[in-house]
Amino acid sequence: MKFTLSWLREHLETSASLDDILLALNAIGLEVEGVEDPAAKLEGFRIAKVLTAAPHPQADKLQVLSVDAGEGPLQVVCGAPNARAGLVGVFGLPGATVPANGMVLRVAAIRGVESNGMMCSTRELELGDDHDGIIELPADAPVGTAYADWAGLGDPVIDVSITPNRQDCMGVRGIARDLAAKGVGTLKPLHDVYRMESLNPIAGGGAGPDVRTDDVEGCPAFFAQGVSGVTNGAAPEWMARRLKAIGQKPISMLVDITNFVSIDLGRPLHVYDRAKLSGGLVARRAREGEQVLALNGKTYTLDETMTVIADERQVHDIAGIMGGEDSGVSDTTTDVLIECAYFTPEAIARTGQKLGITSDARQRFERGVDPAFLDEGLAIATRLVLDHCGGSPSAVTRAGEPPVAPRQVSYDPATCLALAGVDVVGDQQRDILARLGFTVTVEAPGRWSVTIPSWRRDIDGPADLVEEVVRIVGLEHVPSTPLPRAPGVARPTATPAQLVERKVRRMAASRGLNEAINWSFLSEKEAASVGGGDWTLANPISDELKVMRPSLLPGLLSAARRNSDRGATSIRLFEVGRRYFHAADGNSEERPTVGLVLAGERTPRGWQSGKAQPFTPYDAKAEALALLAAAGAPVANLQMMGDAGASWHPGQSGTLRLGPKTVLAEYGVLHPLLAKEFGLSGTVVAAQIFLDAIPAKRKAGFMRTPYAPPALQAVKRDFAFLVPQALEADALVRAVRGADKKSIVDARLFDVFTGVGVDDGMKSLAIEVTLQPGEKSFTEEELGAISAAVVKAAEKLGGSLRG
């Protein structure tokens, strides 16, 4: 929600400074996301007068000007067709930055002629779209004055983040009301702001427009008034300036009035060209397959769950979301119908999500506009049309009834201390609630009846009233009170699963990985890239966060891309989170998982290493094994099997399993198409560790088995076997380790060789075997027997001892 400081002061009588207002906004829960001073970007641009203009000696379309910006003549080369002697315009001094393109002006030679700055157009200063010539100011504009000061552009633009429950602050007046309740100023009467004697509907001649509502569930109330004989032109300068300041492009007087009222009061409106309508307008459910050409130029196909505004011939408006192109006003419009309706927030939200349309009207209607503000909103819009476009109003037509039944909450002022820990006296609480628009009736000591204002649909009970009081008083007054602690030694509160995740986090961090925390939601496209998700949200906060993630990889890949875009050369990310699936009973199932992504350079280039080295699937496997060990998995018993699936590079991935069915981890090089889809280049390796698949440890006592180092030194023997090319090294290592479980304590692969001396279809695998003697050293006969058992185990897999 953006607005200017002067716009706010139209509703708020205050002498507070900008800084005081910003502090108050943050204090009452309206977080200030940013403040932009338009005058700051125009620093270095002054009003200047062209003294002389002569042709450029080397270019037909350029002129050499002599410009006075208040400090004497300067020579400037200019290509604008309207540049001439006597013109007063805007001049950019050397050192100024052109807002439109970020170019810093310098003294430079243009086609051999020195130029000291630039005469500017409105587009270059981002003040409009005109680029045909330089800005022409009145002849009496003071030369040498800063242009921003003279043009009154020093009006800060405040950007406030409005939480979904504060629909009343989706207009400047609602924000002003909150600030007045905080004590920053006084809220002006609305009829004074709009200079109207009253906000009662404007009386008109003749019958009101023919409108009705046949969908009372989606559109409970449809009010309208016609104005004939209007002249649609440009909006007045004050209105256009405010709209442009917050990023709205002025279109025409009639359209700008609706946009202005929507932002000023949080009340969306729509204006129809009556000449383009066939018969009356009706709010009804769309028919399956009906289409409408919206104002954004796109055609939308509707279904019977959506509320629309239509005439006898066609649909003209996706109700509460976006108007139609076919009935929009234009420069030739003379008769208009002003719509001021109330649409059910839930219906608007469902329609907007289905069609994927985001608009200012949708943002306000789906949060809930004030249902009691239809007559006043229509009166204000009609007054603005009459004042700026002329014409004669008709009577007002009111179809349906808005949901304005009063709502009361029983409230005990002592609840504030009980819930928030802040002791606010009753009179102060009542005053705060009154300034926020609540009506308080004291029925008895400790028993109030509070009537909720129509614009606060978020208020439901006493706890909400406490929140209103406390945020106005100040959250800094809420005491920090520790929870009571029972005497004695505190019992551990972490569950076994939480302890496992804690160990995994520490291990990952100790190995140089950086933890990422991503959303548990993905877009449908991201979810499809890893096989699709089981759960889709009915009411997501964004279409990009719609599917409960079936994998941690999309979030990590997006984080990797963001890091890469910002210059990171070696990306090592991990995340501990949940994946979401359908359970056998139809409910959701959360599976704890660890994901990791390695991208970019494993080692940087150097004089010893040469070129930078990328990550390999063995790096992902090593990380997966280390994290599995930290999680308590029986790493020594794991088997490496096959490719990991469609998301992985064929032949460069695998799984770690306990038996053929229990998959503990998957790892390897990601499929190039998947990496490309997330904007990553080069080799990207990853792994996912499924913590829920790790078998639980058997219960044991608190005593740990004492460490007893072996009394005798271990013996190591190397074996080289010729095995079929297709045999996995992991299978051979496990077979060797199991040849003599009592004596062999470790076996590891240390060499792989193919080439001269090795037959085609075969490879040489060299394994280091560690033997641990018990009470006495091995004899030669015992070592020979163990070696024979190792060779026999290899032969069972088709291997033979290499000579």
CATH code assigned at 504: 3.30.930.10
Angle among Cα 27, 30, 35 to the nearest 5 degrees reads 100
Query: What is the residue-averaged pLDDT of the chain?
Result: 92
Note whether residue 673 is domain-resident. yes
Number of neighbouring beta carbons within 10 Å of residue 11: 27
CATH code, domain with 455: 3.30.56.10
Position 329 in a domain: yes
3-state secondary structure 75-137: EEEECCCCCCCCCEEEEECCCCECCCCCCECCEEEECCEEEECEECCCCCCCCCCCCCCCCCC
Are 234 and 240 contacting, i.e. CB atoms less than 8 angstroms apart? yes
Same domain (yes/no): 361, 270: yes
* pLDDT recorded at residue 383: 95
Amino acid at the residue 584: A
Structure tokens at 128: 């409009």
Is there a domain that residue 462 lies in? yes
Question: In angstroms, what CA-CA distances link 212 with 215, 224, 292, 399, 539?
Answer: 9, 10, 20, 5, 30
pLDDT tens-digit readout, 540-565: 888 889 999 999 999 999 999 999 99
Same domain, 245 and 372: yes
Q: In the numeric block, which tokens belong to residue 125?
A: 């200063």
Same domain, yes or no: 738 and 773: yes
Instruction: Clarify whether residues 503 and 616 are in a common domain.
Output: yes
For residue 203, what pLDDT is reported?
Answer: 87
Is 60 labelled as part of a ligand binding site?
Answer: no
pLDDT tens track for 56-67: 999 988 999 999
Same domain, 654 and 583: yes
Q: Is 443 annotated as a binding residue?
A: no
Q: Span 264-288, mean pLDDT?
A: 96
Among 351, 384, 400, the domain-final residue is: 400
DSSP string, 654-693: EEEEETTTEEEEEEEEEPHHHHHHTT--S-EEEEEEEGGG
The verdict on 113 and 51 lying in the same domain is yes
Lowest-confidence pick of 201-210, 214-223, 509-518, 549-558: 201-210
618 occurs within a structural domain: yes
- Per DSSP, the residues of 190-217 read HHHHTT-S--SPPP-SSPPP-EEES-TT
699 pLDDT higher than 80 = no
Model pLDDT for residues 727-779, shown as the tens digit of each residue: 988 889 989 999 999 999 999 999 999 988 888 999 999 999 999 998 899 99
Q: Is residue 683 part of a domain?
A: yes
**Is the pLDDT reported for residue 452 higher than 90?**
yes
d(CA 643, CA 654): 5
Same domain, 321 and 348: yes
CATH of the domain at 120: 2.40.50.140
- Find, among 445, 457, 449, the residue nearest to 433 by Cα: 449
Residue position matching structure tokens 């163990």 = 786
Q: Please check the confidence at residue 701 and state whether its pLDDT lies above 70.
A: no
Single-letter code of the amino acid located at 83: A
Instruction: Please tell me whether residues 513 and 542 are part of one structural domain.
Output: yes
Residue where a domain stops, chosen among 367, 400, 433: 400
Q: Report how far residue 19's alpha carbon sits from residue 694's, in angstroms, rounded to the nearest whole number.
A: 56
Q: Is residue 425 part of a domain?
A: yes
Q: What is the CATH number of the domain that holds 796?
A: 3.30.70.380
SS3 327: coil
How far is it, in rounded angstroms, from Cα 670 to Cα 673? 8
Helices and strands, number each (H, E), in the chain: 21, 40
**Is residue 710, in this structure, part of any structural domain at all?**
no
User: Once rounded to an integer, what is the mean pLDDT over residues 132-137?
Assistant: 90
Kindly state the average pLDDT of the residues 254-280. Answer: 96
* 421 shares a domain with 311: no
Mean pLDDT of the 497-526 span: 95
Verify that 236 and 137 share a domain, yes or no.
no
Of 400, 435, 463, the one marking the end of a domain is: 400
DSSP 760: T
How many alpha carbons fall within 13 Å on the CB side of residue 618? 2
pLDDT in tens, 565-613: 999 999 999 999 999 998 888 788 999 999 999 999 999 988 887 899 9
Q: Is 458 annotated as a binding residue?
A: yes
Question: Residues 523, 664: one domain?
Answer: yes
Q: Distance (Å, rounded) from C-alpha 619 to C-alpha 617?
A: 5
Residues 552 and 622 in one domain: yes
Residue 189 has pLDDT above 80, yes or no: yes
Domain that holds residue 361: 211-400
**Rounded mean pLDDT, 7-15:** 96
> Percent of the chain, pLDDT > 90?
80
619 annotated as ligand-binding: no
517 within a domain of the structure (yes/no): yes
Compute the half-sphere exposure of residue 53: CA atoms within 13 Å on the CB side of its CA.
Answer: 17
Please state the rounded mean pLDDT for residues 791-795: 94
- Number of domains the chain is built from: 6
Residue 490 has pLDDT above 80, yes or no: no
pLDDT band at 702 (very low <50, low <70, confident <90, very high): low
pLDDT tens-digit profile of 94-129?
A: 999 998 888 999 999 999 999 999 999 988 988 877
